[in-house]
A = this chain, B = another copy of it.
Amino acid sequence: MTISEQDRQAQSGEQTRAALIHAALQLFGSKGFEATSTREIASRARANIGSIAYHFGNKEGLRLAAADYIVATIQDVAGQALGHYAVIDIPAETKESARQQLGLVLERMARFVVAQPAAGEIVQFLLRELAQPTAALDRIYSGVFEPTHKRLCAIWEVATGEPAESERTRLTVFTLIGQLVYFRIGREAVKRRMDWTLMGEAEAAAVAAIARQNLMAIFAARDAEQERAQR
């Protein structure tokens, strides 16, 4: 076997692997793990059924690989939903800039969660794993959920003065995220109730606007609270 043949096969192997993960992500996300057959995954990836065993051992291994892929993807694009607050805004760590950052983060999250057509499967996959914890959740939690939530809490402290790790802060941040996530989970109900035939950029913008209003309302309430406390 020549070197170029090795290269071609190695590359092809990587491609097959990636295609399998991508197909698995879509199918696990939209139908669920158990409802998806390895045959279907292989077929969609235009790969062979045997290749799943070769690359991932078994179906469960493919689930873990998909989870790892998600963690890596999100960590790579890091700021896509979170913003680069900690990185670029350190010098301007004022209350106002922190508040604006949080507003931006919510807006990006809304776009990501509600509209992103490609990311839809990722979110769906995450939510499924979350609803039914398996080994894959451990990696996702420590790789995505925890760092994201902690970062938001840290920004929150700058924005409001409340300790980042207080129960109130942590719970409030969860409600901020939760209000957005519901638009993905409850997508079908939202579409019917809102008379939306699809949920794209325009709809995501509407959702983002409401989330931002809610956020600003909470900031205002915190300000009023502190004023009262100072008197």
Contact = CB atoms under 8 A, between A and B. Distances in A.
A149 B190 CA distance: 10
Instruction: Please tell me the size bucket of the interface on A.
Output: 35 or more
Nearest to A35: B34
A185 B34 contact: no
A175 B128 CA distance: 21
| Residue picked from A141, A178, A221, most chain B C-beta under 10 Å | A178
A77 B180 CA distance: 28
A231 interface: no
Given A217-B218, A217-B220, A182 B175 contact: yes
A149 B170 CA distance: 27
Interface in A156-209: 167-168, 170-172, 174-183, 185-190, 192-194, 206-207
Interface string A22-63: 000000001111110000000000000000000000000000
A145 B187 CA distance: 12
B130 A124 contact: no
What copy number does this chain have within its complex?
2
| Residue picked from A192, A194, A211, most chain B C-beta under 10 Å | A192
Interface stretch (A7-15, A84-92, A96-104, A131-139): A131-139
Contacts of A181: 178, 182, 185-186
A53 B217 CA distance: 54
A30 B182 CA distance: 19
A177 B178 CA distance: 9
Contacts of A31: 34, 132
A98 to B, nearest CB: 18
Given A178-B178, A179-B175, A216-B221, A192 B141 contact: yes
A53 to B, nearest CB: 22
A119 interface: no
Interface string A66-86: 000000000000000000000
